[in-house]
Amino acid sequence: MQSVKLNQPVGWIDGVLLFAAFLLLTFDIGHYGLFEPHEGHFAGVAREMVLRGDWITPTLNGAPYLNKPPLLYWSIATSYKIFGIHEFAARLPVALAGWFGTVIAFLWSRQLWGAIASRAVVVLLSTSVGWFIFAHQLLIDELLGALLLGMAYCLWRLTLNPQSRVFLVGTYLLLGLAILAKGILALAFWMACCGATAIAQRRWKTLVLFRPVLGLGIVAAIVLPWFIAVERANPGFVRYFLFNENVKRALDTRWPPDYSISKISSWGYLLVSALWCLPWVFVLPPALRGLYKEWRQGLSPQASLEDHQRSNALTLLGVLATLPILLFLPLSSRLYYYSIPALPPLAMAAGHWWSTAWQGTSERSRRWIGWMMAGLGVRSPLD
């Protein structure tokens, strides 16, 4: 039986599109001041790391600032060391993370659905309102989204080749970095991805493919050195971080309370999550409906190997697309940008829909493209 095509050739058009996405996501990042309070404190902590020479304990105005793991601080501080201390250097790591997520979405879409889908994904993701805005601001969520997408991609490649050391290490390296970016929340995504794959396949032995014991050992080797070092320098940090900054923040009982300016109602959270997907949010209903049918097809006993492999990928992408929304929807601590990690898999769904319409396999999709082009005042190439 035929399997998915992993070695799809990349042409000059792909290089141009990816370079254009890089230019767009880094456009003008150094030509406006830092927004308060979020950009100021991320950039300020990284600046003090460089000036104080202490890369273990994050500080702000000389006092320990321990409410976030260090990955973004380290990235900004490294950029400062290379380019100097200014706005461009501060924002560059997040912009690069946004581009990294775009490249992973491009690569994964190409292997699942071909060249047209992958090119559409580059355009759709890099120009989406949410991905563009948060590539231009110092917040962790776009970095987290890119790392989680890379982790899920490596997990999928492990289902294709369980003996691959590259994708085993890649999975848990990216998971470890995601923990250093946002905290233990990243573990919830990994567990959901593994569990959903096993449930969809109705085979708990699937979990063995992910080699969780060895993998978590790799994660521990990445994460624990900093946690141990900062606990030694600041006794009580681990308890403070795990309970006050994770459990209590999720329950909205953190002390001191903050982030009130960024909180949003549950209905507002759904609305703003849709706004982040503009301008292609309107194609998501047919896109998701089509992918659901494709996912179900891959689970049937008569499914081809290729259909089965696509279904595994769609299970993982489904987790990444829904968990950032469903996880925070019932929590009063939700902030308006928490759904940003859902954008890459949703853009991949839209890119797949666009490719099927472009190739003429769906008359309804062709009409959708015609309506969208007409709304923009552009003649549809499908007419």
The model's pLDDT over 283-296, given as tens digits with 9 standing for 90+, comes to: 999 999 999 999 99
Q: Is the pLDDT of residue 65 over 80?
A: yes
Q: What is the mean pLDDT of the chain?
A: 89
Interatomic CA distance for residues 170 and 191, integer angstroms = 16
Q: Is the pLDDT of residue 379 over 60?
A: no
What's the pLDDT score for residue 50? 96
Q: In the chain, where are the structural domains located?
A: 12-375
Mean pLDDT value of segment 121-131: 97
Taking the alpha carbons of 329, 181, 342, 296 in that order, is the dihedral positive or negative? negative
Element (H, E) at 60: strand 59-60
Contact 311, 200 (CB under 8 A): yes
CA nearest neighbour of 140 among 89, 74, 80, 239: 74
Q: For residue 88, give both structure tokens.
A: 């461009």
Q: For residue 121, give both structure tokens.
A: 């994904």
Per-residue CA distances from 122 to 17, 287, 351 (Å): 7, 16, 8
The model's pLDDT over 156-187, given as tens digits with 9 standing for 90+, comes to: 999 999 899 999 999 999 999 999 999 999 99
